[in-house]
Structures are given as structure tokens and as C-alpha cells.
Homo-oligomer: A and B are copies of this chain.
């Protein structure tokens, strides 16, 4: 059987890697003066859309390891951008929220993301962007299932 050329050359994984890497680099530069690293912008954005959640929830939704989230939040707390309070109903868990300072950063992050999104989707129709985003979500979910089979509460 003839294998798909794109698959054989592995451009799917390579391009996905490039998109995320360049995205992190871009966001890191854009948020440098606020001492927010390239990856941590995702945590901020997630918190702005999903306030008052615990770290495990963030970990599952962002598809990042709980250790990665813990360290990201520690950095952001250090910068005074998030608060971590022990859940009174479950002393194991911590309820995460953005501080006032963190809320201010959200707009800056959004602006940087808009700039990035506009630039990287140049030459694509709105419909193509929508399609791409939807397909990427599906593929990402499949990839997680493949690597972490049975370990995910969301499936």
C-alpha cells in the first residue's frame, strides 16, 4: 500500500510544532515587559474565561501536565497576577483566580493574540480558519486519547 506523502514526511506534526513554537516565541516577546513567559499567556487566557477553578481542571482543559500548570501558576503568583486559595470544601484543592493586576494583563494578552492570529492566518479565508481550528481540536483530542488512553476524565 502506498502511504500518504504528507504523513510520510510528517508535516502535520512538524507544522503543528512550528505553529506552537513560533506562537510561544511571539507571545513571549510581546509580554516580556510584563514578565509573562510564552507559555504562561495560555494560563492567563484560560483563567480569564474560566475563573475560580482548580489546577486539575486547568490541566485537563489545556491538555498540559498538572506539574506544568503548577509551575506556571507559581510563576504567575510570583508576578502577582493570580491568587491560589485553598478550597474550604476540599482542602486538597486550590481555587485559582486572577488578581486585579492579572485582569489588567488580559487585555494586553488578547491584543497580542489578535495580532498573532491575524498575521498567521493571512491568506486564509475566515471559513478556512474556522475549519482548521475545528480540525485541530479533533486531532488534539485524538492525540491525547492515544497517548493517555483511559487516563482522561473528559472522554
Contact = CB atoms under 8 A, between A and B. Distances in A.
B19 A133 contact: no
Interface of A: 3-4, 6-27, 41-42, 45-46, 49, 62-63, 110, 113-114, 116-117, 119-124, 128-133, 135-140, 142-144, 146-147
Copy number in this complex?
2
Contacts of A136: 11-12, 15-16, 19, 132
19 contacts: A4-B117, A6-B129, A6-B133, A10-B113, A13-B19, A15-B133, A15-B136, A15-B140, A17-B23, A18-B140, A18-B143, A22-B144, A26-B146, A116-B146, A120-B139, A124-B135, A128-B135, A131-B131, A132-B132
Interface SS majority for chain A: helix
